[in-house]
Amino acid sequence: MDLHQAAGANLTGLRDHNMALVLGLLRADPDGGSRAQLAERTGLTPQAISKIVARLLDDGLVQEGGRGASTGGKPRTLLRLRPDAACAIGLAVDRHESTVLLSDLMGGERSRATRDVGLATAEPARVVTLLAEMVRDAADSAPPEARLLGVGVGCRGPLDYATGVLHRPAGLSAWDRFPLRRALTEHLEGIAVHVDKDTNVAALAVAAPGPGSTAYLHLADGVGAGLRLNGAIYRGARTNAGEFGHQVVQLDGPVCSCGQRGCLEALCLAALADGDHHTAAGLLGLGAANLVRLLDVDRIVLGGRVVFTEPQLYRREVAAQLAAHLPDPQWQHVTVDLSPAGESSVAAGAVELVLGTLFGA
């Protein structure tokens, strides 16, 4: 796929609210829906739906196929998304490695690659060059007719979601104030690039919009959280909520890479350095209990490379800490799940960062 041509293929008006509603409904139902069903589900008039569908057919994003069940008259023609009509790329950037994932319009994985390229492996300009190469390689594996909607990046924070600029990431002083989004955009010839904290994008992959609140807890080269409260990602006033690993849980504890003593992250990483997953899992559960008391979330989802080395241990220990520290676990019931995306939560969520601009998520 030619990245410059793909940049020119952005579809005018696709972010329109009503069109996003229709696209979102078709994505949510692989069996498709008729024009009448779409009108009923969106509350739009049949005339409005007909205009929107005509545009989507012209743009090649949907296709007609099959007939719905008859309700006494002529069976209605069903509409479905065309998965290969467009694609999105998700890029997960950690300290020592990065993963790139190519997805179709339905979020289905088409290719994946991991390289030893990360924030701590080289100076920033070199890392950005290598990340851009990974993105180009992924784009080259896309169907030739597919339009690239953009690139989503999940990166270690702290960072400013509005500008794509990193701010003093712990132990990575070379990246302080680095404009990651702008640098990648320049390398990728103007392709739309979206940058968010790795934990925020992972929360996009594991929690759906709507009622209920989920905290995604990530344990890999560090510890962090992504918060989806009442269906929406909560980023905070400076778009840097979720620095979960830097809550102080031991005043005289070891020095953390952020400069404080006794951070949850420092204690977890110290336990892991000794090969003690049981202690690391218990500490993660203690932090989870603090978070639940603070925000009253009803679901905890665990992810990250370290969690999936001993997934059932981490799930069990986090659940045990919640039961031990919440005042009434039966009343304040919290489910503990493993990320359905496995170790790919950040890359999969980075894809959703792009697709969300299309589907209005």
Decide if pLDDT at 210 tops 90: no
Top pLDDT among 155 and 74 is at 155
Q: How far apart are CA 225 and CA 204, in angstroms?
A: 12
Pick from 17-21, 111-115, 217-221: least confident:
17-21
Average pLDDT score over residue span 31-42 = 89
Q: How far apart are CA 149 and CA 141, in angstroms?
A: 15
Q: Which tens digits make up the pLDDT trace of 150-170?
A: 999 999 889 999 999 999 998
pLDDT, residue 6, reads: 42
Average pLDDT score over residue span 253-279 = 95
Decide if pLDDT at 8 tops 60: no
Burial 168-206 (b: 16+ CB within 10 A, else e): ebbbbeebeebbbbebbbebbeebbbbbbbbbbbbbbbb
Decide if pLDDT at 59 tops 80: yes
Of 48, 50, 81, 51, the residue nearest 64 (C-alpha): 81
Which of the four pLDDT bands, split at 50, 70 and 90, describes residue 82? very high
Average pLDDT score over residue span 310-338 = 94
- Residue 158 φ/ψ, nearest 5 degrees: -65, 150
Half-sphere exposure of 331 (CA within 13 A, CB side): 4
| Verdict on whether the full-model pTM lies above 0.95 | no
Percent with pLDDT over 90 in the chain: 68
DSSP letter for 95, please.
S
Q: Which tens digits make up the pLDDT trace of 136-154?
A: 999 999 988 889 999 999 9
Decide if pLDDT at 4 tops 70: no
Which residue has 């952005």 as its token pair? Answer: 10
Which of the four pLDDT bands, split at 50, 70 and 90, describes residue 2? low
Q: Which tens digits make up the pLDDT trace of 346-359?
A: 999 999 999 988 88
pLDDT, residue 171, reads: 86
Amino acid letter at 23? L
